[in-house]
Structure 1
Amino acid sequence: MQKIIKGREIVTDNWHLLPKETTFEEIPNTDNVIIPVALWLEHGHALTTRDGRLGVWLDSDEEPESIADSLEHFQVIAINFPAFTDGRGFSYARLLRERFGYKGEIRAIGDVLQDQLYFMQRCGFDAYVIRADRDPEAALAGLNDFTVTYQTGADQPQPLFRRRLA
């Protein structure tokens, strides 16, 4: 099983990320699976009766509004970064946390690099699947790039001046 960064430590991933080509019949009943959003939109009701835990993943062109009414069914929402230059996933994480109130795990998948982790954390991500050609141990240091934040974020709702007044 692969290693991921979750909760500021490296852990063994116990979820199976299913590819877009997966059909409903191929989804195992007892495994913890992260399915493409299209499968959820087509077979959502049937998927809630599975024995295993359920997650969903959004590609960069699939907006979180499509699953906003179903968030209670997902223990994990993964957001795919097809290229490190595609920043839509940052906005999706903030929307899930701040507008839709999602409290579960938000996982970054795809072209995820060390330089992005700190900013992903600020937007609401709490788990990261680092690109296969990179070292997760080295990437973990990216969460500590900065010690003080001035602006608000999903991880710090008050700006610095308000924290200093308190």
Structure 2
Amino acid sequence: MPLIEKGHIVEDSFVRVADDEALPEGASVLVGIDRFLTEAEALKARQAPVGVVWPNNRPIAEIAPHLGQLSLIALNFPSFRDGRAYSQARLLRERLGWQGPLRAIGNVLRDQFLLMERSGFDQIEAVKEADAEAFDEATHRYTVFYQPATDARPSLLRQRLGRTVPGVRS
């Protein structure tokens, strides 16, 4: 699956490793939550970056004590109708202060790219190559927003009031 990062198709530097597979030496790894919690101390000692796939049915607050040892958080969209990962992304960015890469994985469709970007995702694992190639068009289709979000685009209310304050969400 193609990986989109900040609007460009990039090579994925993380190797997804199943719970029963050996960790490749020196490679950046992306592991499931069960393995991550079971092997937290051993993973902390690794010399290579570690990322975690966080399920959307688990409270995002549980990840807070581990944020310092993570290099990537991947949030899962098991179905295009399941939007819990949007809420998790905003909570990670706004309440927990996560500054690192946040990846959307699973059933990710072109129509969702703009909302994913506005919710705080900076990496998207697209289902189809054609969707990845259409990222720029999909994220610039709309230019006016009523809702405030984690991105830097001001809401319509802030624009009308002429109050776009740097560093403050609109």
Question: Aligning the two structures, in what range does the TM-score lie when normalised by the shorter sequence?
Answer: 0.7 to 0.9
Contact 1:16 1:31 in 2 (8 A): yes
Please state if 1:103 is matched with 2:102. Answer: no
Task: Give, in whole Å, the separation in 2 of the partners of 1:100 and 1:141.
Answer: 31
Unaligned ranges ≥5, structure 1: none
Structure 1 residue corresponding to 2:158, chosen from 142, 147, 162: 162
Task: Give, in whole Å, the separation in 1 of the partners of 2:142 and 2:17.
Answer: 34
Contact 2:52 2:73 in 1 (8 A): yes
Task: Give, in whole Å, the separation in 2 of the partners of 1:17 and 1:85.
Answer: 25
C-alpha RMSD over aligned residues: 1.9
SS of 2:151's equivalent in the other structure is: coil
Contact 1:55 1:76 in 2 (8 A): yes
Please state if 1:16 is matched with 2:12. Answer: no
Match of 1:63 in 2: 59
Contact 2:2 2:127 in 1 (8 A): no
CA positional deviation for 1:100: 0.4
Number of residue pairs matched?
162
Structure 2 residue corresponding to 1:36, chosen from 24, 32, 36: 32
Please state if 1:137 is matched with 2:133. Answer: yes
Post-superposition CA distance 1:74-131 (Å, at most 9, x none): 1110011111111111111011001100000110001000000100111111110011
TM-score by length of 1: 0.88
Task: Give, in whole Å, the separation in 1 of the partners of 2:142 and 2:7.
Answer: 14
TM-score by length of 2: 0.86
Aligned residue runs from structure 1 range 44-63, under 5 A: 44-63=40-59
Contact 1:113 1:139 in 2 (8 A): no
CA positional deviation for 1:162: 2.5
Post-superposition CA distance 1:12-64 (Å, at most 9, x none): 11111223xx13x7122311111111112111111011121111111222222
Task: Give, in whole Å, the separation in 2 of the partners of 1:143 and 1:133.
Answer: 16
* CA distance 1:136–1:157, change in 2 (3 Å): closer
Among all aligned residue pairs of Structure 1 and Structure 2, give the percentage whose two residues are the same amino acid. 36
Unaligned ranges ≥5, structure 2: 164-170
Q: In structure 2, give the amino acid aligned to 1:8.
A: G
Aligned residue runs from structure 1 range 68-147, under 5 A: 68-132=64-128, 135-147=131-143
